[in-house]
Structure 1
Amino acid sequence: MPIDQVRMTQATDTDTDRVVAALGGASFVADRRRQLAGGSGVLLAAWREAEAVGCVYISFEEADEAELRERRPGTPVLHRLLVVEHLRRQGIGRRLMQTAENVARDRGCARMALGLDLDNIDAERFYRRLGYTEWPYGLLDTFYIATVDGREVRVPEQCRVMEKHL
């Protein structure tokens, strides 16, 4: 599928449900609905006709992690860049990232940050090609949300932080 047949949009409430149905992440999006409603979060979606084929979330609120808040105040954080598996490596992720960076620039942001799993070498290569570098402060203590025995719990983990001057 040619990349020019994919359009990028800021997801509406209805779109958000369609994005979750296609790409997953219901608990993540449910947790972010307040940000989306208040304009402090943006869900960008890539569409092929009416099918959601990719997404990325930008949080404009201060980061959950104290160290990130202290060292990079006011820096938007990217979450959950996803592209459907059969369409990966066709430029959709790159276009989503470029669109996210443009949204951040339009809001006056000078930098963008993201957390990266320690073992995700493919993602690291992708972000480096886009101009992201590892921040100079080492690993970041963070968490992810998991469902254990029917309830959501925070599971501690470490990640690498990558950032880009916009």
Structure 2
Amino acid sequence: MDASLEIRPAAAADAEAVAALLTDFNGEPVDGPTAARRLAALQGIETVLLALRDGAAVGLCSLRVVPFLSADHPYAEVTELYVAPEHRRQGIARRLMREAEALARAQGAPSVYLLTGFQNETAQAFYRSIGYGDYALAMRRRLI
């Protein structure tokens, strides 16, 4: 295990680091105040886990756990997973996913769901390597 790697929930003080990771991940600028506002809005719904190496944020994983109508247990979904390119292939994404799965399990969710792009073969291969499989077709309709 990498002793210099820490996985912990993001706090309000981490907004700048979260913003930088989101900007890198999505290619759209996110500033600290926006990330802080989003983190505050997630309270009680979604947990952002940060991966820190020697104190610097190098990755994140966001887990949403919510009740849903179809069952008496909560629904858990990983909504974001990102590791900075220079820190990939070092087990960080696996650690983030293990932590997210443990958090989901602790909250009573029997499964974890996630979405990834049809063309994102690298992510698909990673998820399959840790035990995820095809489940459903996700669809959307843009409203704005």
> TM-score, structure 2 length as denominator?
0.79
- Mapped partners of 1:44, 1:98: distance in 2: 11
Matched-pair contact (CA < 8 Å) for 1:46–1:96? yes
Q: Secondary structure at the match of 2:115?
A: strand
Matched to 2:8, the amino acid is T
Q: 1:141 aligns with which of 118, 139, 142?
A: 139
Q: 1:101 to 1:43 in 2, by over 3 A?
A: same
User: How far apart are residue 21 of structure 1 and its match?
Assistant: 2.5
Q: 1:116 to 1:22 in 2, by over 3 A?
A: closer
User: How far apart are residue 16 of structure 1 and its match?
Assistant: 3.2
Q: Quick one: percent identity of the two aligned structures?
A: 27
> Does 2:62 correspond to 1:57?
yes
2:12 alignment counterpart: 13
- Mapped partners of 1:20, 1:118: distance in 2: 26
> TM-score, structure 1 length as denominator?
0.70
> Does 2:46 correspond to 1:41?
yes
1:95 alignment counterpart: 95
- Mapped partners of 1:143, 1:96: distance in 2: 30
Instruction: Return structure 1 stretches of 4+ with deviation > 4 angstroms.
Output: 27-32
User: How far apart are residue 40 of structure 1 and its match?
Assistant: 1.3
Number of matched pairs: 135
Q: Secondary structure at the match of 1:52?
A: strand
User: How far apart are residue 34 of structure 1 and its match?
Assistant: 1.5
2:114 alignment counterpart: 114
- Mapped partners of 1:15, 1:62: distance in 2: 27
Q: List gaps (5 residues or longer) in structure 1.
A: 64-68, 145-152, 155-166
- Mapped partners of 1:117, 1:134: distance in 2: 12
Root-mean-square deviation over aligned CA pairs: 2.8
Q: 1:119 to 1:22 in 2, by over 3 A?
A: closer
